[in-house]
A = this chain, B = another copy of it.
Amino acid sequence: MTEDRHSQPEEMRAAREKILAAAARLFAERGYESTSLAEVARAAKVSKALIFWHFDNKQQLYLTALQKNLEPYHIDREELAGLEEPDQIVRLIDSFYQFVNDNVYSVRFFMTLMLRGELPLGESEASRGSDSLQRVNELYRAFRQSFAEIIAHGQQRGVFRRSLDPEREAALMLVTLVGVLAQQFMLGETFESSKGLIEHYKQTLFERLRCAEP
């Protein structure tokens, strides 16, 4: 999971970009309803009217900002090559939380959206909003599938128990990771305070996955 945003100095960016950056941050922090365009304008240091020159309306700004938040991320499978399966799993778990930690606002934002089913514009077609949500779902599935593949490989190589169903295990893993995340956000805890729990989970996980000595 890596990010390749090519960021530029604040002052040099075109107004449109400044608006998008401010909007992405504010919508993520405060949500759609309670973020006014006046606030976005102030944060971006432009006039309200300029927002309407660049975007048709509030919703379109919002959708564009969403997409901007999602585009740069992908799972980096290269970096796992050559590692033992257990290490691959550890690496994937860590990069999951690294990603989350680096993008608290966006992640919180998307969790809120999905939680409320707030895919704006109503969930009926035509709303390109669901594209963004679609992307999140893809990302989620990609993680799950990566875990499943690693487990399956590990089984073939005899390091993981063969009695397990990789898909089921991967699904449960993702659920747990998301649970830690949710708790972290919901109880207002920091990433640091969750670390103990995460380490404990890794240990638990390997006790489950690992073969008894062959």
Chain B nearest Cβ from A135, distance in angstroms: 14
Which A100-153 residues have a C-beta within 8 angstroms of B? 108, 111-112, 114-117, 121-123, 137, 140
Copies of this protein in the complex: 2
A186 is contacted by which of B108, B111, B186 (Cβ under 8 Å)?
B111
Which A140-174 residues have a C-beta within 8 angstroms of B? 140, 168, 171-172, 174
A180 is contacted by which of B115, B179, B197 (Cβ under 8 Å)?
B179
Chain B nearest Cβ from A186, distance in angstroms: 4
State the majority secondary structure of interface residues on A. helix
The 9 closest A-B pairs by CB, nearest first: A179-B179, A33-B33, A114-B186, A175-B179, A122-B188, A182-B182, A33-B34, A178-B179, A176-B176
Interface pairs (20), CB distance under 8 Å: A30-B116, A31-B116, A111-B182, A112-B112, A114-B188, A123-B188, A171-B197, A171-B200, A172-B176, A172-B197, A172-B201, A175-B179, A175-B180, A175-B197, A176-B176, A176-B179, A177-B179, A178-B182, A178-B186, A179-B180
